[in-house]
Amino acid sequence: MRGLEILPARMKAIAIVALLVAPLALAGCQDSITDVGSLEDADLDDEAALQSIVNGMGRELSIALGHLALTGAAVSREVVGTGSQTNFGITLGQREGILEPVETEEHWNTAQSARWTAEDGVRRMRALLGDGFASSELAARALLYVGFANRLLGENMCFAVIDGGQEQPAAAFLSRAEAAFTESLAIAERIGSPDLALAARAGRASARVGLGDWAGARSDAEAVPIGFEHAATYSDRELEQYNPIYWANAGLPYRNLSVWSTFYDAYFALTGDPRVRWTIDPAHPEGDTGIPLQVEQKYTGRNQPIRLVTGREMRLIVAEARLRAGDVTGALDAINELRLLAGVEPATAEDLPEAWTALKRERGIELWLEGRRLGDLHRWIAEAAPGEAEDMSGRDTCFPIGTTELDTNPNLP
């Protein structure tokens, strides 16, 4: 991110250390750095600092994911705002599906910060570890953060800008994600870490979806067991690290989002599908505009994780790959694996468009409120994929470049 790249070395070191203090404190560890103001960038070039640097990568990713997942949920109508003014950071324009650069500056900046922090940390680790990087568990974890930060950007942003460079297609982020996941997978397999290997393989499968590599995506997805999960973590010890989707509705003091009038409203009422559960608090049945306050129940605490990849998502990648090959029966089989686990009726389809509708709905249900819906809708609209999904007419499907980037990057028009 240009805003970090142009910092003097000493200031960059201070910025990085600021990212590390909170995760160390949350873990109950002692930070050996006692005088942040005296640090130079080179002071972090110490193997003893690597765990803290990787912790900082995770913290930045969680913050960025929370921002994008919350606003993206309103824009893609996973939820709606219930107030007459800004709802926990969701503006009235965003409720109508409009994403303006001046209002999404924080989304751009936090996501780019997550990417830069992870990539710069990996650069530092390579220099410190040398040949040992290729057999380091910390390196495999760091590369996962590089992959997921770039995937977050690639799925949600309209364009890519890398470290003050020129505007590129958003797929440039996804290519970086794929490369990071591939390297993480190689290290994880080399050191015998199956959980890290599965996270890298599943992450790569999801990045390959956005790149249109369906053979590669399907191959990776088929290798991930259905019960696997890898998530971004949150904490109830500091406001910036709360799960923001939960906190927006926690009632202390916020009651700002509702499932009312969305697809998930009627679908849950009809099926009771636990993946999209919502409830009404009898003490607070409405928002301040009279909108019924139907509160999502996917997240039930400030420290609730947000999933990054799951084996369940992998079944849907397999289903979509089969649909693209014209295999309706095979696609429905994969979809219905998930519906069977959720205890709801199987999906049916008479033809290819109906099967695509089922796939689009199932991805919405399975990945609800995880910061993935806007990216799915964007790619399906761009491809004119068959079947029905949310009506996004007049609504944006990606986040614009932030205003600071536009104002300070000489390589942008």
Among the listed ranges 40-49, 206-215, 234-243, 318-327, which one has the minimum average pLDDT value? 40-49
Angle between helices 328-342 and 311-324 (to 10 degrees): 160
DSSP 401: P
pTM of the model as a whole? 0.91
Q: What local confidence, expressed as pLDDT, does residue 34 receive?
A: 34
Look at residue 25 and tell me whether its pLDDT is greater than 60: no
Q: What local confidence, expressed as pLDDT, does residue 166 receive?
A: 97
Angle between helices 50-75 and 137-156 (to 10 degrees): 20
Which residues touch 368 (CB under 8 Å, ≥6 apart)? 78, 264, 275, 276, 296, 298
d(CA 268, CA 208): 31
Cα angle 270, 397, 90 (rounded to 5 degrees) comes to 75
User: Which stretches of 212-351 are DSSP H helices?
Assistant: 214-222, 244-247, 263-271, 311-324, 328-342
Q: What local confidence, expressed as pLDDT, does residue 85 receive?
A: 61
d(CA 304, CA 231): 10
At 41, which amino acid appears? D
d(CA 240, CA 22): 10
What share of the chain in percent tops pLDDT 90?
79
Q: Which residues pair with 208 in a beta bridge?
A: none
Q: What local confidence, expressed as pLDDT, does residue 292 receive?
A: 93
Residue located via tokens 């088929």: 222
Tell which wins on pLDDT, 89 or 12.
89
Taken as a whole, the chain contains a residue count of: 413
**Number of helices and strands (H, E) in the chain?**
16, 8
Look at residue 84 and tell me whether its pLDDT is greater than 80: no
d(CA 241, CA 244): 8
pLDDT confidence band for 8 (50 / 70 / 90)? very low
Q: Which residues pair with 87 in a beta bridge?
A: 90
d(CA 133, CA 98): 44
Q: Considering all CA atoms of the chain, what is the largest pairwise distance in Å, rounded to the nearest integer? A: 68
d(CA 99, CA 266): 27
Smallest Cα–Cα separation from 87: which of 247, 298, 235, 242? 247
Residue located via tokens 């020129």: 166
- In sequence order, what DSSP letters do the residues of 224-235 get, joined into one string? S-TT-EEEE---
